[in-house]
Amino acid sequence: MGNRDGGGIRGVPPPSRETGEVPRVLVVDDEPKIVDVVRDYLTAAGFAVSVAMDGPTALERARAQPPDLVVLDLGLPGLDGLDVARALQAAEPPVPIIMLTARSDEVDRVLGLELGADDYLVKPFSPRELVARVRAVLRRSARAGDGRERFAVGDVTVDTARRRVAVGERPVELTSTEFELVAHLAREPGRVFTRAQLLDVIHGVVTEGYERAIDAHVKNIRRKLEDDPHRPRLLLTVHGVGYRFAEA
Protein backbone atom coordinates (compact mmCIF):
# COMPACT_ATOMS: atom_id res chain seq x y z
CA MET A 1 0.00 0.00 0.00
CA GLY A 2 1.23 3.50 -0.77
CA ASN A 3 1.32 6.57 1.38
CA ARG A 4 2.46 10.15 1.04
CA ASP A 5 5.87 10.87 2.53
CA GLY A 6 7.76 13.90 1.37
CA GLY A 7 6.08 13.93 -2.04
CA GLY A 8 6.80 10.42 -3.21
CA ILE A 9 6.24 6.70 -2.80
CA ARG A 10 7.35 6.25 0.80
CA GLY A 11 10.16 8.71 0.20
CA VAL A 12 10.47 8.34 -3.58
CA PRO A 13 11.00 11.78 -5.19
CA PRO A 14 9.03 12.64 -8.33
CA PRO A 15 10.69 11.68 -11.64
CA SER A 16 12.78 14.27 -13.42
CA ARG A 17 11.18 15.91 -16.46
CA GLU A 18 14.23 17.80 -17.72
CA THR A 19 14.19 18.68 -21.42
CA GLY A 20 15.96 16.10 -23.53
CA GLU A 21 16.06 13.42 -20.87
CA VAL A 22 15.27 9.93 -22.11
CA PRO A 23 11.91 8.88 -20.59
CA ARG A 24 12.23 6.07 -18.05
CA VAL A 25 9.70 3.23 -18.23
CA LEU A 26 9.37 0.56 -15.54
CA VAL A 27 7.90 -2.71 -16.86
CA VAL A 28 6.31 -4.92 -14.18
CA ASP A 29 5.15 -8.42 -15.15
CA ASP A 30 5.78 -11.95 -13.86
CA GLU A 31 5.90 -13.51 -17.34
CA PRO A 32 9.53 -13.44 -18.61
CA LYS A 33 8.55 -13.64 -22.28
CA ILE A 34 6.27 -10.61 -21.99
CA VAL A 35 8.93 -8.67 -20.08
CA ASP A 36 11.55 -9.46 -22.72
CA VAL A 37 9.33 -8.49 -25.65
CA VAL A 38 8.08 -5.27 -24.05
CA ARG A 39 11.61 -4.28 -22.98
CA ASP A 40 12.98 -4.89 -26.48
CA TYR A 41 10.26 -2.86 -28.20
CA LEU A 42 10.43 0.04 -25.75
CA THR A 43 14.23 0.12 -25.88
CA ALA A 44 14.14 0.14 -29.67
CA ALA A 45 11.67 3.05 -29.47
CA GLY A 46 14.18 5.09 -27.47
CA PHE A 47 13.03 4.58 -23.87
CA ALA A 48 15.23 3.73 -20.89
CA VAL A 49 13.68 0.54 -19.54
CA SER A 50 13.94 -1.18 -16.16
CA VAL A 51 12.01 -4.30 -15.20
CA ALA A 52 10.53 -6.04 -12.17
CA MET A 53 8.90 -9.45 -11.87
CA ASP A 54 6.86 -8.84 -8.72
CA GLY A 55 5.22 -6.07 -6.73
CA PRO A 56 7.82 -5.52 -3.97
CA THR A 57 10.64 -5.39 -6.51
CA ALA A 58 8.65 -2.90 -8.58
CA LEU A 59 8.39 -0.50 -5.65
CA GLU A 60 12.09 -0.98 -4.87
CA ARG A 61 12.94 -0.07 -8.47
CA ALA A 62 10.66 2.97 -8.24
CA ARG A 63 12.42 4.09 -5.07
CA ALA A 64 15.86 3.63 -6.60
CA GLN A 65 15.06 5.41 -9.87
CA PRO A 66 11.61 7.04 -10.16
CA PRO A 67 10.07 6.18 -13.55
CA ASP A 68 8.24 8.52 -15.89
CA LEU A 69 5.71 5.76 -16.63
CA VAL A 70 4.96 2.23 -15.40
CA VAL A 71 3.66 -0.66 -17.51
CA LEU A 72 2.00 -2.72 -14.80
CA ASP A 73 0.54 -6.24 -14.86
CA LEU A 74 -2.26 -6.58 -12.31
CA GLY A 75 -1.70 -10.29 -11.63
CA LEU A 76 1.56 -10.15 -9.67
CA PRO A 77 3.09 -12.36 -6.98
CA GLY A 78 4.21 -10.89 -3.68
CA LEU A 79 2.10 -7.75 -3.89
CA ASP A 80 -1.07 -7.34 -5.92
CA GLY A 81 -0.85 -5.04 -8.94
CA LEU A 82 -3.69 -2.91 -7.58
CA ASP A 83 -1.67 -2.30 -4.40
CA VAL A 84 1.33 -1.34 -6.51
CA ALA A 85 -0.91 1.06 -8.44
CA ARG A 86 -2.11 2.63 -5.18
CA ALA A 87 1.48 3.19 -4.09
CA LEU A 88 2.43 4.74 -7.43
CA GLN A 89 -0.61 7.01 -7.37
CA ALA A 90 0.40 8.26 -3.89
CA ALA A 91 3.44 9.96 -5.44
CA GLU A 92 3.48 13.68 -6.21
CA PRO A 93 2.79 13.95 -9.07
CA PRO A 94 1.14 10.54 -9.55
CA VAL A 95 3.15 8.20 -11.77
CA PRO A 96 1.38 7.48 -15.08
CA ILE A 97 0.37 3.82 -15.38
CA ILE A 98 -0.58 1.58 -18.29
CA MET A 99 -2.12 -1.62 -16.95
CA LEU A 100 -1.82 -5.06 -18.49
CA THR A 101 -4.72 -7.39 -17.71
CA ALA A 102 -6.05 -10.80 -18.69
CA ARG A 103 -9.22 -10.78 -20.76
CA SER A 104 -11.27 -12.06 -17.80
CA ASP A 105 -10.05 -9.40 -15.36
CA GLU A 106 -12.68 -6.76 -16.13
CA VAL A 107 -13.38 -6.02 -12.46
CA ASP A 108 -9.70 -5.46 -11.71
CA ARG A 109 -9.37 -3.41 -14.89
CA VAL A 110 -12.14 -1.05 -13.79
CA LEU A 111 -10.68 -0.85 -10.28
CA GLY A 112 -7.31 0.01 -11.76
CA LEU A 113 -8.76 2.83 -13.82
CA GLU A 114 -10.63 4.11 -10.79
CA LEU A 115 -7.33 4.17 -8.89
CA GLY A 116 -6.05 6.58 -11.52
CA ALA A 117 -4.36 4.40 -14.14
CA ASP A 118 -4.14 6.21 -17.47
CA ASP A 119 -4.71 3.34 -19.87
CA TYR A 120 -4.87 -0.43 -20.16
CA LEU A 121 -4.16 -3.21 -22.62
CA VAL A 122 -5.71 -6.68 -22.58
CA LYS A 123 -3.42 -9.68 -23.06
CA PRO A 124 -2.47 -10.76 -25.63
CA PHE A 125 -1.61 -7.34 -27.03
CA SER A 126 0.44 -5.86 -29.84
CA PRO A 127 3.84 -4.60 -28.64
CA ARG A 128 3.62 -1.83 -31.24
CA GLU A 129 0.29 -0.71 -29.80
CA LEU A 130 1.82 -0.65 -26.33
CA VAL A 131 4.66 1.56 -27.57
CA ALA A 132 2.10 3.91 -29.15
CA ARG A 133 0.13 4.12 -25.91
CA VAL A 134 3.26 4.75 -23.86
CA ARG A 135 4.10 7.65 -26.15
CA ALA A 136 0.54 9.01 -25.93
CA VAL A 137 0.43 8.91 -22.12
CA LEU A 138 3.86 10.56 -21.84
CA ARG A 139 2.80 13.29 -24.29
CA ARG A 140 -0.19 14.07 -22.10
CA SER A 141 1.99 14.15 -19.00
CA ALA A 142 4.50 16.49 -20.66
CA ARG A 143 2.03 19.15 -21.83
CA ALA A 144 2.33 21.24 -18.66
CA GLY A 145 4.20 24.02 -20.43
CA ASP A 146 2.10 24.06 -23.59
CA GLY A 147 -0.08 27.14 -24.03
CA ARG A 148 -1.31 29.61 -21.43
CA GLU A 149 -5.02 28.92 -21.45
CA ARG A 150 -7.09 29.47 -18.34
CA PHE A 151 -10.88 29.41 -18.35
CA ALA A 152 -13.80 28.99 -16.00
CA VAL A 153 -17.21 27.35 -16.26
CA GLY A 154 -19.35 28.36 -13.31
CA ASP A 155 -17.27 27.65 -10.22
CA VAL A 156 -14.88 25.30 -12.06
CA THR A 157 -11.55 26.79 -13.15
CA VAL A 158 -9.23 25.01 -15.59
CA ASP A 159 -5.61 26.16 -15.94
CA THR A 160 -3.99 24.33 -18.84
CA ALA A 161 -0.56 25.91 -18.32
CA ARG A 162 -0.29 24.50 -14.81
CA ARG A 163 -2.65 21.59 -15.52
CA ARG A 164 -4.76 22.44 -12.52
CA VAL A 165 -8.48 22.25 -11.90
CA ALA A 166 -10.31 23.84 -9.00
CA VAL A 167 -13.92 23.90 -7.86
CA GLY A 168 -14.30 27.23 -6.14
CA GLU A 169 -11.25 27.46 -3.88
CA ARG A 170 -10.83 23.68 -3.70
CA PRO A 171 -8.03 22.26 -5.85
CA VAL A 172 -8.82 18.94 -7.54
CA GLU A 173 -6.02 16.42 -8.04
CA LEU A 174 -6.38 14.70 -11.42
CA THR A 175 -4.23 12.30 -13.40
CA SER A 176 -3.01 13.48 -16.81
CA THR A 177 -5.77 11.51 -18.54
CA GLU A 178 -8.47 12.84 -16.23
CA PHE A 179 -7.23 16.38 -16.77
CA GLU A 180 -7.37 16.00 -20.57
CA LEU A 181 -10.97 14.82 -20.37
CA VAL A 182 -12.10 17.61 -18.01
CA ALA A 183 -10.33 20.31 -20.05
CA HIS A 184 -11.77 19.02 -23.32
CA LEU A 185 -15.33 18.85 -22.00
CA ALA A 186 -15.18 22.15 -20.11
CA ARG A 187 -13.89 24.08 -23.12
CA GLU A 188 -17.30 23.56 -24.74
CA PRO A 189 -19.87 23.40 -21.94
CA GLY A 190 -23.18 21.97 -23.07
CA ARG A 191 -21.72 20.16 -26.07
CA VAL A 192 -22.28 16.40 -26.04
CA PHE A 193 -19.24 14.23 -26.75
CA THR A 194 -19.55 10.55 -27.59
CA ARG A 195 -17.35 8.03 -25.82
CA ALA A 196 -15.48 7.45 -29.09
CA GLN A 197 -14.73 11.17 -29.39
CA LEU A 198 -13.44 11.29 -25.81
CA LEU A 199 -11.40 8.16 -26.36
CA ASP A 200 -9.81 9.86 -29.34
CA VAL A 201 -8.85 12.80 -27.09
CA ILE A 202 -6.90 10.63 -24.66
CA HIS A 203 -5.51 7.95 -26.98
CA GLY A 204 -5.17 9.70 -30.31
CA VAL A 205 -6.87 6.73 -31.92
CA VAL A 206 -10.20 5.03 -31.35
CA THR A 207 -9.76 1.36 -30.54
CA GLU A 208 -12.74 -0.95 -30.53
CA GLY A 209 -13.48 -2.39 -27.10
CA TYR A 210 -11.89 0.43 -25.08
CA GLU A 211 -14.85 2.80 -24.82
CA ARG A 212 -15.74 1.44 -21.36
CA ALA A 213 -12.50 3.00 -20.14
CA ILE A 214 -14.16 6.40 -20.59
CA ASP A 215 -16.93 5.42 -18.17
CA ALA A 216 -14.33 4.39 -15.58
CA HIS A 217 -12.44 7.67 -15.97
CA VAL A 218 -15.66 9.67 -15.69
CA LYS A 219 -16.60 7.82 -12.51
CA ASN A 220 -13.20 8.66 -11.05
CA ILE A 221 -13.44 12.31 -12.11
CA ARG A 222 -16.87 12.66 -10.53
CA ARG A 223 -15.55 11.23 -7.28
CA LYS A 224 -12.95 14.00 -7.21
CA LEU A 225 -14.92 16.86 -8.79
CA GLU A 226 -18.50 16.54 -7.61
CA ASP A 227 -19.97 17.23 -4.16
CA ASP A 228 -22.17 14.15 -4.67
CA PRO A 229 -20.76 11.80 -7.34
CA HIS A 230 -24.06 9.90 -7.45
CA ARG A 231 -25.93 13.10 -8.37
CA PRO A 232 -23.47 14.94 -10.61
CA ARG A 233 -24.07 18.58 -11.43
CA LEU A 234 -20.92 19.22 -13.48
CA LEU A 235 -20.07 16.18 -15.61
CA LEU A 236 -23.36 14.93 -16.96
CA THR A 237 -24.36 11.72 -18.74
CA VAL A 238 -26.30 11.92 -21.98
CA HIS A 239 -27.84 8.46 -22.08
CA GLY A 240 -27.15 6.49 -25.20
CA VAL A 241 -24.66 9.07 -26.45
CA GLY A 242 -21.90 10.13 -24.05
CA TYR A 243 -21.11 13.02 -21.74
CA ARG A 244 -21.25 16.80 -21.51
CA PHE A 245 -20.01 19.45 -19.12
CA ALA A 246 -22.80 21.50 -17.54
CA GLU A 247 -23.24 25.05 -18.80
CA ALA A 248 -22.70 27.79 -16.24
pLDDT of residue 88: 86
Contact 165, 171 (CB under 8 A): yes
pLDDT of residue 63: 87
State whether 153 and 206 are in the same domain: yes
Our CA angle for 94, 100, 101, nearest 5°, is: 125
In a domain, 191, yes or no: yes
State whether 150 and 135 are in the same domain: no
pLDDT of residue 15: 44
Total count of domains within the chain: 2
| 10 HSE (CA, 13 A, CB side) | 12
CATH of the domain at 71: 3.40.50.2300
Contact 53, 30 (CB under 8 A): yes
pLDDT of residue 185: 93
Cα–Cα distance between 28 and 83 in angstroms, integer?
Answer: 13
In a domain, 4, yes or no: no
In a domain, 15, yes or no: no
pLDDT of residue 227: 93
Mean pLDDT in consecutive groups of 10 residues from the start of the chain, 248 residues: 39 44 92 95 94 93 91 87 86 81 71 79 90 86 57 89 87 88 91 88 58 85 94 94 90
In a domain, 5, yes or no: no
Cα–Cα distance between 190 and 240 in angstroms, integer?
Answer: 16
State whether 159 and 232 are in the same domain: yes
Which domain-ending residue is among 141, 172, 190?
141
pLDDT of residue 138: 85
Cα–Cα distance between 17 and 169 in angstroms, integer?
Answer: 28
State whether 161 and 183 are in the same domain: yes
State whether 80 and 128 are in the same domain: yes
Domain ranges, residue 53: 24-141
Q: Are strands 119-122 and 97-101 parallel, antiparallel or unpaired?
A: parallel
Which domain-ending residue is among 141, 166, 198?
141
Instruction: State how far the alpha carbon of 116 is from the alpha carbons of 15, 99, 156, 217, 224, in Å.
Output: 17, 11, 21, 8, 11
Which domain-ending residue is among 109, 124, 141?
141
Cα–Cα distance between 118 and 86 in angstroms, integer?
Answer: 13
